[in-house]
Structure 1
Amino acid sequence: MSVDYAVIILMWVIGIFMYIFFTPKKRYRKVAVTALICQSLLWLNSLVHVEFDLIAFPVREFPKATHLLITTEYFFYPLLCGFYIAYEPKHSLRIRLIYLCSWISIITLYDFILVTYTNLIEYVHYAWYFTWIDFFCIFAVTNFVYQWFFKNKKLFRMEQEAVE
């Protein structure tokens, strides 16, 4: 087994472990919904990048089915977005912006490490700062959609209490 597939398996194991053990019971739904919102945005964004030959994924799980790396684009990055929104501080806009920039910088660094040391991601006509801007926009839009979707807190609480 190559290093690339070991990294893919490690991302799955870490992601599932984080979701099960680091998500409080009250936040399961929040993480899942935000991950799905982020997943749809990230999927469209990645498809555009691959079609215009900006990014390539030489090593993929399903090479005949899609040109995208399923692990990062459908699972790991959306799950990280879910954790970002689930643990977002309810402070001033400045604190929330610093929190967002910190998350995006760490994820971009991880993506850059994948580009540099593995064959999972290849920047064809791309650079790390485009990744930072992409993640910033995707996480911000995901947060906006999530806030809009759950803006009626009374209804959300009633539904949550009915489930418990």
Structure 2
Amino acid sequence: MNKEYIIYILESILIIFLLFRFIPKDKIREAHVAYLFKLVITWSVGLIVAQWKFIEYPVRFLSYATKANFLFEFFLYPSICTLFVVNYPEKKNKFNQFMYYFYYCTSLTIVEVVEERYTNILTYIHWTWYITWTTFFITFFLAQKYNKWFFSKITITKK
């Protein structure tokens, strides 16, 4: 087994642990909505990015089915976004909320850049780290706002 598959396994185990550890039972419904919303975004954008050859994924699961990284687009990234949305510091000031975005986007970008440089998990073709960071920021923003909107509509309906 090569190092890329070991990395995939370790990342999957880490995400599963984090989901069980940091998603409170009373927020499971929010987590599901965040996951599904993010899944729609990442799956469609991931397919476009791979098809238009902005990024290439030399080692991936389901390589005959799709050029995108199925594990990242279908499980890892939506799960990370779920953790982001469920634990979003809604009651903090704007600076702390921005720093929350900054930490998530920067951490994920660093992991991606390291994987791009030292493994065959992905290869940037017409892509850079700042596009990755910006994409993370925009998609986290959209997912967080969607969840806030979705659950504000539910609470209005209940009253």
1:83-133 alpha-carbon deviations (Å, 9 max, x no partner): 111111122222211211111111111111111121111101111010001
RMSD: 1.7
Q: Return structure 1 stretches of 4+ with deviation > 4 angstroms.
A: 155-158
Match of 2:144 in 1: 143
User: How many angstroms apart in 1 are the aligned matches of 2:92 and 2:110?
Assistant: 26
Match of 1:12 in 2: 12
Letter of the 2:72 partner, please give it.
T
Deviation, structure 1 residue 153: 5.3
Q: Which sections of structure 1, spanning at least 5 residues, go unmatched?
A: 159-164
Percent sequence identity is: 28
Alpha carbons of 1:26 and 1:63: their partners in 2 closer, same or farther (altered >3 Å)?
Answer: same
Match of 1:57 in 2: 57
Deviation, structure 1 residue 154: 3.1
1:1-164 superposed matches below 5 A? 1-89=1-89, 90-152=91-153, 154=155
Deviation, structure 1 residue 156: 8.0
Aligned length, in residue pairs: 158
Equivalent pair of 1:114/1:121 in contact (CA under 8 Å): yes
Equivalent pair of 1:150/1:156 in contact (CA under 8 Å): no
User: How many angstroms apart in 2 are the aligned matches of 1:10 and 1:154?
Assistant: 38
Task: Report the TM-score, using the length of structure 2 for normalisation.
Answer: 0.91
1:3-41 alpha-carbon deviations (Å, 9 max, x no partner): 001111112111112212332211222222212111111
Task: Report the TM-score, using the length of structure 1 for normalisation.
Answer: 0.89
User: How many angstroms apart in 1 are the aligned matches of 2:44 and 2:7?
Assistant: 24
